[in-house]
């Protein structure tokens, strides 16, 4: 009886030891699993934080670019307005100077002769007609033959008795009216306008490049 009791106790001890070992093993496994879960959770949290940071940076970058674009558009509008204002200012100044020139016979008459010579030389016809405004017609008509000769046109140029609307200069055309050279002040201004725009644009674009560095680094 004592021997059976001892065996039972030994069996119970063995079972208890095994149960404790299994419990420890399960506890250790659970702790490792818990640690892995926590590590995975931390990784997920870091990834989510990184995504949120990247999203915030991307949003800030978009906002920055939008503001830069808006500033550049505003600057371009201001440059366009400034360009238009400058062109108008130049045109007004030139028109004022041309009006003064037309009133100065000592300077205006030599200019008319040069315009006449240049215009006549550009038309491959021998019979030409010159058109001037009312003021010039009254002054030039009495001595037109001498003016043509002094201009060295080398062609027969008739002064039209019908005045044209112009601030100064002259319009020369072939006798049949098919070829013409507009050497009036307005005609030459129109041809030079593109050059004035180009010069103004070069100045403004040079300034715009320096201003753009403020935005683009």
Other beta carbons within 10 angstroms of residue 63's beta carbon come to 10
Structure tokens at 23: 């419990």
The predicted model scores a pTM of 0.56
Report the sign of the C-alpha dihedral through residues 45, 51, 57, 59, in that order: negative
User: Residue 214 has what pLDDT?
Assistant: 35
User: Residue 129 has what pLDDT?
Assistant: 94
User: Residue 143 has what pLDDT?
Assistant: 93
User: Residue 31 has what pLDDT?
Assistant: 73
Q: What domains lie within the chain, and their CATH numbers?
A: 104-193 (3.30.2320.30)
Residues of the chain with pLDDT under 50: 209-217
User: Residue 97 has what pLDDT?
Assistant: 84
User: Residue 87 has what pLDDT?
Assistant: 73
User: Residue 35 has what pLDDT?
Assistant: 76
User: Residue 215 has what pLDDT?
Assistant: 34
User: Residue 89 has what pLDDT?
Assistant: 78
User: How far is it, in rounded angstroms, from Cα 137 to Cα 131?
Assistant: 8
User: Residue 15 has what pLDDT?
Assistant: 62
């Amino acid at each position: 009886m004592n021997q059976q009791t001892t065996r039972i106790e030994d069996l119970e001890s063995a079972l208890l030891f095994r149960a404790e070992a299994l419990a420890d093993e399960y506890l250790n496994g659970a702790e490792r699993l818990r640690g892995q879960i926590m590590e995975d959770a931390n990784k997920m949290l870091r990834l989510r934080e990184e995504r949120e940071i990247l999203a915030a940076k991307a949003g800030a970058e978009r906002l920055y670019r939008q503001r830069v674009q808006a500033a550049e558009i505003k600057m371009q509008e201001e440059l366009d307005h400034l360009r238009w204002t400058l062109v108008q200012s130049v045109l007004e100044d030139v028109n004022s100077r041309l009006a003064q020139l037309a009133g100065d016979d000592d300077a205006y008459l030599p200019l008319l002769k040069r315009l006449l010579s240049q215009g006549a030389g550009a038309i491959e016809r021998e019979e030409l007609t010159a058109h001037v405004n009312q003021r010039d017609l009254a002054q030039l008509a009495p001595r037109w033959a001498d003016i043509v000769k002094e201009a060295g046109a080398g062609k027969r140029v008739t002064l039209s008795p019908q005045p044209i609307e112009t601030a100064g200069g002259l319009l020369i055309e072939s006798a049949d009216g098919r070829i013409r050279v507009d050497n009036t002040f307005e005609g030459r201004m129109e041809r030079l306008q593109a050059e004035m725009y180009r010069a103004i644009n070069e100045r403004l674009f040079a300034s715009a490049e320096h201003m753009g560095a403020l935005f683009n680094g």
